[in-house]
Amino acid sequence: MKNISVIGAGTMGNGIAHVFAQNNFNVTLIDISEVALQKAISTITNNLDRMLAKERITSKEKTKTLGCIKTTASMKDGLGKADLVVEAATENVALKLSIFKDMDELAPKNAILATNTSSISITKIAASTKRPDKVIGMHFMNPVPMMKLVEVIRGYSTSDDVTDKIMNLSEALGKTPVEVNDYPGFIANRILMPMINEAIYALFEGVAGVYEIDTVMKLGMAHPMGPLQLADFIGLDVCLSILNVLHDGFGNPKYAPCPLLVNMVTAGKLGIKSGEGFYDYSETKKAEKISVRFL
């Protein structure tokens, strides 16, 4: 595999494109928004500049990486020569199924179709295509250039050959792939999201404040960031979406999202992306605690 197409130029998509390009793959980054594509290239350039400043890469490697990436707003143009397509669109079932139908139609018949979904069934996504044996989950962690893990998720029909290829490819990117089976939330979010949800419940019930909850988990459990700060980083809307997938998939009330989380998402308090979540990310109050209203 040499030609990689990445669908979605957001945080995950541009990170995935960056990593493939830095490892000498030809990358086509696809998004319906030209603005998003321009922002993605700017983000990748800035990230490379930081790596250059820290002497992790050379100026020549930066130039070569950027030279490996081209952008397009056309799915047809972007998928025609792909050996692997990685979908990194919003965590929305209907959207992903629609994208995979287009991927199946436009990508070469021998191309592998991967999704970066963090919770949605690979089997369900694969069923929207005529090549379910070539559909697989390739769940990168954010920030993609820094995080080592890739969760490789097999759908019901995913072939051994495709799984082996994606495991080997992940290692070629300098990542550590871990193979898991297709159940709601897989492993990462099946464990992480209930922890975040419980932290939100602790805040909701007045057990402790935002800073106090995060400090206990950072200093007591050696977590690099507390669960509420991490929720802000992930996006509270994404956390809610994943919890709903877990709740619907297992039918177990332990996965029911905390009412406070639901209210914050409804109010548009989504974390870093909106400028405010459990913390305030405005220029004047960056990373300060906010007063959380429960009603």
Query: 265: helix, coil or strand?
Result: helix
Question: Is 116 tagged catalytic?
Answer: no
Query: 290: helix, coil or strand?
Result: coil
Yes or no: say if 266 and 240 are a contact pair by the CB < 8 Å rule.
no
117: which 2 tokens?
Answer: 């979904």
Query: 58: helix, coil or strand?
Result: coil
CB-CB neighbours of 250 under 10 Å: 14
CB-CB neighbours of 289 under 10 Å: 15
Q: Of the residues 87, 121, 139, 197, which is catalytic?
A: 139
Q: Of the residues 5, 118, 119, 197, which is catalytic?
A: 118
Q: Of the residues 3, 119, 170, 189, which is catalytic?
A: 189
CB-CB neighbours of 93 under 10 Å: 15
Nearest to 260 by CA among 210, 216, 205, 209: 205
Question: Is 288 tagged catalytic?
Answer: no
Question: Is 42 tagged catalytic?
Answer: no
Question: Is 118 tagged catalytic?
Answer: yes
Calpha distance 244→230 (Å, rounded)? 18
Q: Of the residues 151, 197, 247, 276, which is catalytic?
A: 151
Distance linking the first and last C-alpha atoms of the chain: 52
Cβ neighbours of residue 245 closer than 8 Å, sequence gap 6 or more: 119, 120, 184, 185
Calpha distance 30→3 (Å, rounded)? 13
**149-154 and 135-140: which strand pairing?**
antiparallel
Yes or no: say if 95 and 102 are a contact pair by the CB < 8 Å rule.
no
Helix (H) or strand (E) holding 18: helix 11-22
Q: Among all residues, which ones are annotated catalytic?
A: 118, 139, 151, 189
